[in-house]
C-alpha cells in the first residue's frame, strides 16, 4: 500500500564523533556499516564515510523504517568520480521500498569540516502527476501571467 507518493529523509553526521567511533572500535564496526565497495571508494576518508552514513540514515527515514529494521549494509551509496551518487537497495531496504511502492530514489550528499549531510527523495508511481487543484492553480497563474508588449524588452510585474 502506498501511503505517500513522495517521501523525504535527511540526516546529518558529526564527522569528529564518527572519527572517534572509528578510532576506538574494532574493524567490525566499519564492516557492519559500510559495504566493501563503499570502504574501497572512501579509502579511509572519514568525511566520505560520514556522508555515506548520513545517506543510509536519510534513506531509512524516506523508507519509513529505522536502524533496527534495516541493515545498513542493505543500503549502498554507489559513486563514480564526476557523477552524482546513487543508492542501491537490497534485502530489507529493497523490501520496504517495494512495500511502499517506491520506484525512484534521489540522493544529495555534502560534507564540510565538521558535518556531513544527506538528503534523500523517494518517489512512488504517479508522484509527479498533478492533482486537479494543482492543475487549476497552475492554469490560473500561467493564464494571468503578464506578457511583454510587442517590441518591448521588459515584462511588466503588474498588468495594468
Full residue range of the structural domain in which residue 32 is found: 5-124
57 labelled as ligand-binding? yes
Q: How many residues does the chain have?
A: 160
pLDDT class of 81 with cuts at 50, 70, 90: confident
28 in a structural domain: yes
Largest Cα–Cα distance of the chain, in whole Å?
A: 72
Count how many Cα atoms sit within 13 Å of the Cα of residue 39 in the half-sphere of its side chain: 12
153 in a structural domain: no
- Residue 131 is given by DSSP the state P
Is the separation of the CB atoms in 107 and 14 below 8 Å? no
Number of domains observed in the structure of the chain = 1
The residue-averaged pLDDT of 116-130 equals 80
11 labelled as ligand-binding? yes
92 in a structural domain: yes
130 in a structural domain: no
139 in a structural domain: no
Q: Provide the whole-model pTM.
A: 0.75
148 in a structural domain: no
101 in a structural domain: yes
What CATH code is carried by the domain that includes residue 55? 3.90.470.20
pLDDT class of 157 with cuts at 50, 70, 90: very low
Cell representation of residue 28: 567490525
The per-residue pLDDT for range 84-102, each reduced to its tens digit, is 899 999 999 999 999 988 9
Dist. CA 124–CA 97, nearest whole Å: 9
The per-residue pLDDT for range 21-60, each reduced to its tens digit, is 999 987 888 999 999 999 999 999 999 999 999 999 999 9
Q: What angle (nearest 5°) sits at the alpha carbon of residue 36, between those of residues 49 and 56? A: 45
Terminal-residue alpha carbon distance, the chain: 50
- Average pLDDT of the chain is 82
pLDDT class of 146 with cuts at 50, 70, 90: very low
134 in a structural domain: no
Amino acid at each position: 500500500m502506498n501511503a505517500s507518493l513522495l517521501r523525504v529523509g535527511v540526516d546529518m553526521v558529526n564527522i569528529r564523533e564518527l572519527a572517534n567511533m572509528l578510532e576506538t572500535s574494532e574493524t567490525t564496526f566499519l564492516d557492519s556499516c559500510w559495504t566493501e565497495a563503499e570502504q574501497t571508494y572512501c579509502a579511509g576518508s572519514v568525511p566520505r564515510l560520514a556522508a555515506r552514513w548520513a545517506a543510509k540514515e536519510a534513506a531509512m527515514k524516506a523508507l519509513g523504517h529505522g536502524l533496527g529494521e534495516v541493515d545498513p549494509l542493505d543500503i549502498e551509496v554507489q559513486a563514480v568520480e564526476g557523477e552524482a551518487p546513487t543508492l542501491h537497495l537490497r534485502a530489507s531496504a529493497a523490501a520496504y521500498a517495494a512495500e511502499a511502492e517506491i520506484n525512484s530514489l534521489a540522493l544529495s550528499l555534502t560534507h564540510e569540516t565538521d558535518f556531513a549531510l544527506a538528503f534523500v527523495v523517494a518517489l512512488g508511481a504517479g508522484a509527479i502527476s498533478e492533482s486537479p487543484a494543482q492543475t487549476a492553480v497552475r492554469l490560473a497563474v500561467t493564464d494571468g501571467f503578464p506578457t511583454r508588449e510587442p517590441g518591448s524588452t521588459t515584462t511588466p510585474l503588474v498588468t495594468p
